């Protein structure tokens, strides 16, 4: 496969996955604006901005401690920044737009149904602005866009030929999902550590964002325990959005790809080591800081995997470096 095609499909998967992840995160936050205390609203915004590694515009989040009107007005500005701000490379609009542009350029590699699905979603939702979605329930916009991304994933699974193009698209989705999950968990742990008043509501919202609340309730009941939440989201191979599920699938997908001109051996070893590390049991009775330290190590490994994938299949030596 041409390096340009591999790169375009890989980033198509990453941008679509990021769009869906951000929509789930923002949908939960928009729902919190209705009847939650200001402390919880500020906690949610901190978690979002820490996940994106971005500083909020204007005054720091959390200045308001008791003025609900100020907090709601500030949420309007923050939602606009995370959703529609063109200068924010990680915004929902930029992720969606970049994914559609990758699909347009890769139309020779994708099915017609995929392009139609994504283009129709763009025509319906890509031209809206913050004032449009804020007039009604803003969470409905994020729920609708997330459904469109899920529909696109279903169209991919049912129409795209299972060759290396499909594998690169899947690899992009899985690497993005792993990195986003790690960033979200680290942001949540940092927020909990900085806020002694954080409790069950914050942990329950994390489960909702990761689409794991019903699974947790079915396994453990209604009592929320942070250690159980983290174990489920990191280690459970039966949870579709768990960290280990994404990393294991990424390693398997990378292993099935045809060898490229770059360091494919190093990329596969990195993926295998990453899968081994994430499936390694926690040490006995780890504290939340211990878990955060392990997640930071996994985050570094995920970033290294992305770099090696790019080196192996996209940015390799044009003179024809031997496969290592």
* Cα–Cα distance measured from residue 48 to residue 283, given in angstroms and rounded to the nearest whole number: 29
Query: Residue ranges per domain, the chain?
Result: 3-313
Q: Tell me the pLDDT band of 71, cut-offs 50, 70 and 90.
A: low
Given a cut of 50, whether residue 36 has pLDDT beyond it is yes
Q: What mean pLDDT comes out for the span 43-49?
A: 93
Q: What is the pLDDT of residues 11-21, one digit of tens each?
A: 999 999 999 99
Q: Tell me the pLDDT band of 167, cut-offs 50, 70 and 90.
A: very high
The answer to whether the CB of 21 falls within 8 A of the CB of 210 is: no
Q: What is the DSSP string of 260-312?
A: -SS-HHHHHHHHHHHHHHHHSPPPSS--HHHHHHHHHHHHHHHHHHHHHHHHH
* Cα–Cα distance measured from residue 46 to residue 184, given in angstroms and rounded to the nearest whole number: 11
* DSSP SS3 for 178: helix
Given a cut of 50, whether residue 324 has pLDDT beyond it is no
* Cα–Cα distance measured from residue 55 to residue 60, given in angstroms and rounded to the nearest whole number: 8
User: Residue 13: what pLDDT?
Assistant: 98
* Cα–Cα distance measured from residue 312 to residue 3, given in angstroms and rounded to the nearest whole number: 10
CB atoms within 10 A of CB 234: 22
Given a cut of 50, whether residue 38 has pLDDT beyond it is yes
* Cα–Cα distance measured from residue 244 to residue 276, given in angstroms and rounded to the nearest whole number: 9
* Cα–Cα distance measured from residue 103 to residue 112, given in angstroms and rounded to the nearest whole number: 10
- For the chain, give the number of residues: 324
* Cα–Cα distance measured from residue 275 to residue 2, given in angstroms and rounded to the nearest whole number: 28
Torsion of CA 62, 33, 241, 172, to 10 degrees: -70
* DSSP SS3 for 244: helix
User: Residue 72: what pLDDT?
Assistant: 56
Q: What is the pLDDT of residues 258-281, one digit of tens each?
A: 988 888 999 999 999 999 999 988
Q: What mean pLDDT comes out for the span 299-319?
A: 88
User: Residue 23: what pLDDT?
Assistant: 97
Regarding predicted confidence, which is higher, 36 or 293?
Answer: 293
Whole-model pTM: value is 0.92
Tokens 């947790």 found at: 216
């Amino acid at each position: 496969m041409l390096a340009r095609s591999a790169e375009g499909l890989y980033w198509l998967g990453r941008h679509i996955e990021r769009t869906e992840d951000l929509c789930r995160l923002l949908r939960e936050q928009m729902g919190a604006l209705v009847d939650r205390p200001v402390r919880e609203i500020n906690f949610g915004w901190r978690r979002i901005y820490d996940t994106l590694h971005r500083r909020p515009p204007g005054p720091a989040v959390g200045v308001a401690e008791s003025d609900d009107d100020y907090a709601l007005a500030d949420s309007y500005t923050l939602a606009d920044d995370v959703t529609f701000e063109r200068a924010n490379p990680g915004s929902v609009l930029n992720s969606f737009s970049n994914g559609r542009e990758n699909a347009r350029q890769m139309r020779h590699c994708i099915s017609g149904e995929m392009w139609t699905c994504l283009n129709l979603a763009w025509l319906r939702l890509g031209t809206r602005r913050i004032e449009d979605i804020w007039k009604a329930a803003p969470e409905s916009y994020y729920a609708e866009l997330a459904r469109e991304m899920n529909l696109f994933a279903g169209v991919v699974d049912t129409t795209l030929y299972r060759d290396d193009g499909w594998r690169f698209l899947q690899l992009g989705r899985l690497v993005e999902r792993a990195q986003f999950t790690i960033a979200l968990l680290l942001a949540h742990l940092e927020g909990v550590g900085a806020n002694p008043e954080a409790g069950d509501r914050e942990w329950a919202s994390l489960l909702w964002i990761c689409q794991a609340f019903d699974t947790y309730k079915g396994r453990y009941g209604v009592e929320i325990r942070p250690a159980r939440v983290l174990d489920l989201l990191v280690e459970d191979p039966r949870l579709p959005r768990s960290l280990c599920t994404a990393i294991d699938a990424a390693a398997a997908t990378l292993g099935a790809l045809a060898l490229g001109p770059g360091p494919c051996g190093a990329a596969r070893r990195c993926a295998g080591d990453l899968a081994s590390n994430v499936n390694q049991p926690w040490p006995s009775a780890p504290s939340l800081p211990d878990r955060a330290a392990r997640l930071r190590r996994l985050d570094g490994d995920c970033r290294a995997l992305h770099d090696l994938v790019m080196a192996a299949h996209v940015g390799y030596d044009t003179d024809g470096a031997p496969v290592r």
